[in-house]
Amino acid sequence: MHCADTSFLCALYRQQANSERAIETLEKIGAPIVISCLLAYEFRQAVRFQVFLRSRDAKKGYSETEGLMMLAQFENDLDSGVVIEAGANWTDVAAIVERLSERHTMKRGSRSFDLLHIATALQWEATVFLSFDGLQREIAADEGLNVLADC
């Protein structure tokens, strides 16, 4: 099972520094990316927020057209199975994320959703965790998840 975080999804759906690596990684693994409903929400919310930012300042965020295209491509990938939204045992995830918070937040400054993505991957017993977020990658690796070197 290959789990991703928001940084990986954003690199797939909007041209940025890591986009080429994200696309190459997706092609290399040749399997669907598995995400939780929380990650799907966080990605959609991030895109919508970027559109809002652009509406307030033309130098920030994404245009509405770009945001809508990103969301449409994401939905298309969900429909076609490139990305799979899977259920989780949220009671188990809550216990895992509490343990992660206790172990990492005061030392490293980890954020809630980042830890939730790692906890969900751990609950699923994922084989690979895909992220471009350095701190999230470190914590995932420290917790025993396989983090691809080129991602």
User: What is the domain count for the chain?
Assistant: 1
Residue 41 near residue 68 (C-beta atoms within 8 A)? no
Q: How far is Cα 144 from Cα 151, in angstroms, rounded to an integer?
A: 17
SS3 call for 146: coil
pLDDT in tens, 119-147: 999 999 998 999 999 999 999 999 999 99
**85 phi and psi, to 5 degrees?**
-95, 115
pLDDT in tens, 115-124: 999 999 999 9
- Determine the distance from the C-alpha atom of residue 49 to the mean position of all C-alpha atoms in its chain, rounded to a whole number: 16
**Residues in contact with 32: Cβ distance below 8 Å, sequence separation at least 6, in sequence order:** 2, 81, 82, 83, 84
pLDDT in tens, 81-95: 999 999 999 999 999
Structure-block tokens of residue 64: 């509405």
Q: How much is the pTM?
A: 0.90
Q: How far is Cα 83 from Cα 72, in angstroms, rounded to an integer?
A: 13
Q: In what order do the strands lie in the sheet with 83-85?
A: 83-85, 33-35, 2-4, 128-130
> Domain span at residue 63?
2-88+126-142
**Residues in contact with 22: Cβ distance below 8 Å, sequence separation at least 6, in sequence order:** 8, 11, 12, 130, 132, 151
Give residue 148's pLDDT band: very low, low, confident or very high (50, 70, 90): confident
Amino acid at 151: C
- The CATH number of whichever domain residue 23 belongs to comes to 3.40.50.1010
Residue 95 located in a structural domain: no
Residue 16 located in a structural domain: yes
Residue 32 located in a structural domain: yes
Residue 74 located in a structural domain: yes
Q: What number is the average pLDDT over the span 16-43?
A: 93
